[in-house]
Amino acid sequence: MRENKLGLMLLSIWVLLVFMIGSCLGRFVVEKNSLRVTSPDSLKDTYECAIGNFGVPQYGGTLVGTVAYPKANQKACKGFDELDISFKSKPGSLPTFLLVDRGDCFFTLKAWNAQRGGAAAILVADDKMEPLITMDTPEEENSGAEYLQNISIPSALISKTLGDNIKKALSSGEMVNINLDWREALPHPDERVEYEFWTNSNDECGPKCDSQIDFVKNFKGAAQILEKKGYTQFTPHYITWYCPEAFILSRQCKSQCINHGRYCAPDPEQDFSRGYDGKDVVIQNLRQACLYKVTNETGKPWLWWDYVTDFAIRCPMKEKKYTKECADQVIQSLGIDLKKIDQCIGDPEANVDNPVLKTEQDEQIGKGSRGDVTILPTLVINNRQYRGKLDKGAVLKAICSGFQETTEPSVCLTEGIETNECLENNGGCWQDKAANVTACKDTFRGRVCECPAVRGVKFVGDGYTHCEASAAQRCEINNGGCWSKTQDGKTHSACVDNSKGCKCPQGFKGDGVTTCEDVDECKDKLACQCSQCKCKNTWGSYDCSCSGNLLYMHEHDTCITGKDSKTTVSWNFIWVIILGLAMTGVGGYAIYKYRIRRYMDSEIRAIMAQYMPLDNQAESANHIQHAEI
């Protein structure tokens, strides 16, 4: 126990050291844009300013404004609405650039307050003489991550000297006009932009991880179009550390590293005893790097974007699905050769270099104009680190500004693009070919897998491996995948709403999906078996009749004689009446004839009078029968 604690302490010191060495020796390059003061004359010049790591810099563009320095709240740590101050420019006037002092609160809070106060940009004046630094977002989790995502104005840090000079000019009543220029912020040498995204498959690191995966999801559509048309060359990258020689056999390095301490990542929960280990993160990162390598070799590097989004959706840590099995399912649903990926990953336990991760470690070190990559996520465009928030529109603007002028692809000029990704392999989404129903949807954000609603029937499921029509209407679509047939105007179906599966209807047998066969009730002796019965098979049923004047009772599968049945009684009664009627008719006719031939005498009249009541009776019987029909 004590040994473990000591090991943990030593390891923490090592991690701290690696970080410190990283930040002291690493070259973190401050990305700059230029700031041109156009008035007053005394300050006219072009100055450098450092682009903040939040907000939305106008890559490729310029912004003209007039500077304001607040009389109160000069560090902008409080909202300006509390002080009843607004910097909103009136129609026709120049936008306001708010100048504030460094100190007392986060840069991001200053920018947020300036934006809410109506400023178009924020200039933060340094409080000491030093080279320009990059204003970054706070690392703390509870530092107001919610408003961070909403900062949309550009921000710039300016030197103390420039800040002091602007304040002096303003206090003497001069108007200070500034032109912020981002056109040279990124090199734009040719008609292809190379960019790198340094990322991580860990999805449980709070707001940073969330904004990272949100960016990948949102940017996917544009990234894939740019890549497919050859406008860009994108490469994903992953940071790893190595375990110092002395700790290779420690429990900590064993749980955080693969390949004998060569490639390590911090434990996702910072707790060695629960959840996933650093090792799991390294392996998933390696899988993503390998997926890029394999798909790049087959000429489809853009599949990385699909894999990474799908993996994040389908295999999250909190559902305990951050596993090889889950990853393999995603890979297979995208139609990528799993064997090649496994080959590239190799054996994580082996004491050998992994060529892919070795290259990644070499790439971490800065070259040329690009500094070392030490923070995640980092976007590098044309070998310069991107500054500003990871937002689809902002990044697209930055990439677009990396093209030589007039060679920009049309996606840079419009946003109305379709991806047609569902045409290939159905985008890796669920589909029912027979019913012509798919969960794949083309959107500007690239394809998404979502169970559809078809002809008013809602499908439910994960969109990747299954979707199911909601129970109450399931037979509406493709008859619920069940057998159904129409013959001689009659339809029989093996689908029943609100019940699962397929079941042949009565009178049929089979699996209910592909076949249901008519049961021959006569041959199989299932019905109509009494000695007086005559059986005739029909489709889905049978006809049974009885010999003589017997009646067939379907429910009891038997023939019955008339006496036993109420129906026969009433029929007999009707027969008597009809007979009576016929006799009356015949009698009437005979009497008529008789009357014509001979004169009717009183006797005959008396007989007639005897018949009259019968006649009346027949009429009323006739009436009852009519009502019954």
Residues that bind ligand NAG (CB under 6 A): 146-147, 150, 235, 293, 296, 436
**DSSP code per residue over 164-183:** HHHHHHHHTT---EEEEE-T
Is 32 within 8 Å of 132 (Cβ atoms)? yes
Closest approach of ligand NAG to the CB of residue 433, in Å = 8
Looking up tokens 């249901």, which residue turns up? 516
Closest approach of ligand NAG to the CB of residue 307, in Å = 15
- Rounded to the nearest angstrom, the gap between the alpha carbon of residue 559 and the centroid of all alpha carbons in its chain is 64
Closest approach of ligand NAG to the CB of residue 294, in Å = 10
Maximum C-alpha span of the chain:
150
- Nearest to ligand NAG of 235, 323 (CB atom): 235
Q: Which residues pair with 447 in a beta bridge?
A: 442
Closest approach of ligand NAG to the CB of residue 70, in Å = 21
Provide the residue type at 249 as one letter: L
- Nearest to ligand NAG of 5, 455 (CB atom): 455
| CA distance linking residue 50 with residue 53, whole number of Å | 9
Per-residue CA distances from 571 to 429, 618, 627, 628 (Å): 67, 15, 15, 12
Indicate the SS3 state at residue 571.
helix
- Nearest to ligand NAG of 170, 435 (CB atom): 435
- Nearest to ligand NAG of 287, 293 (CB atom): 293
- Nearest to ligand NAG of 365, 624 (CB atom): 365
- Nearest to ligand NAG of 192, 321 (CB atom): 192
- Nearest to ligand NAG of 146, 555 (CB atom): 146
- Nearest to ligand NAG of 67, 451 (CB atom): 451
- Residue 340: CB partners within 8 Å, gap ≥ 6? 294
- Residue 95: CB partners within 8 Å, gap ≥ 6? 63, 64, 65, 66, 89, 119, 120, 121
Closest approach of ligand NAG to the CB of residue 141, in Å = 16
- Nearest to ligand NAG of 407, 436 (CB atom): 436
Give the DSSP letter of residue 525: T
Closest approach of ligand NAG to the CB of residue 72, in Å = 23
Burial class (CB in 10 A: 0-12, 13-18, 19+), 536: exposed
Closest approach of ligand NAG to the CB of residue 293, in Å = 6
Is 446 within 8 Å of 419 (Cβ atoms)? yes
Closest approach of ligand NAG to the CB of residue 288, in Å = 13
CA atoms within 13 A on the CB side of 320: 2
- Nearest to ligand NAG of 477, 546 (CB atom): 477
Closest approach of ligand NAG to the CB of residue 188, in Å = 20
Looking up tokens 């990059």, which residue turns up? 134
- Nearest to ligand NAG of 176, 291 (CB atom): 291
Closest approach of ligand NAG to the CB of residue 437, in Å = 8
Closest approach of ligand NAG to the CB of residue 510, in Å = 26
Give the DSSP letter of residue 29: P
Closest approach of ligand NAG to the CB of residue 465, in Å = 21
Closest approach of ligand NAG to the CB of residue 208, in Å = 18
In 202-282, at which residue ranges do the beta strands (DSSP E only) sit?
232-238, 257-258, 263-264
- Residue 235: CB partners within 8 Å, gap ≥ 6? 194, 195, 196, 197, 292
Tokens matching residue 24? 């002291």
Closest approach of ligand NAG to the CB of residue 233, in Å = 7
Give the DSSP letter of residue 322: -
| CA distance linking residue 33 with residue 30, whole number of Å | 10
| CA distance linking residue 392 with residue 56, whole number of Å | 10
Tokens matching residue 16? 């701290």
Closest approach of ligand NAG to the CB of residue 460, in Å = 19
Phi, psi of 98 (to 5 degrees): -90, 125
- Nearest to ligand NAG of 144, 588 (CB atom): 144
- Nearest to ligand NAG of 41, 146 (CB atom): 146
- Nearest to ligand NAG of 246, 423 (CB atom): 423
The closest alpha carbon to 372, from 16, 17, 57, 18, belongs to 18
**DSSP code per residue over 344-413:** HH--TTSSS--HHHHHHHHHHS-BTTB----SSSEEEETTEE--S---HHHHHHHHHTTSPTT---GGGT
Indicate the SS3 state at residue 259.
coil
- Nearest to ligand NAG of 82, 146 (CB atom): 146
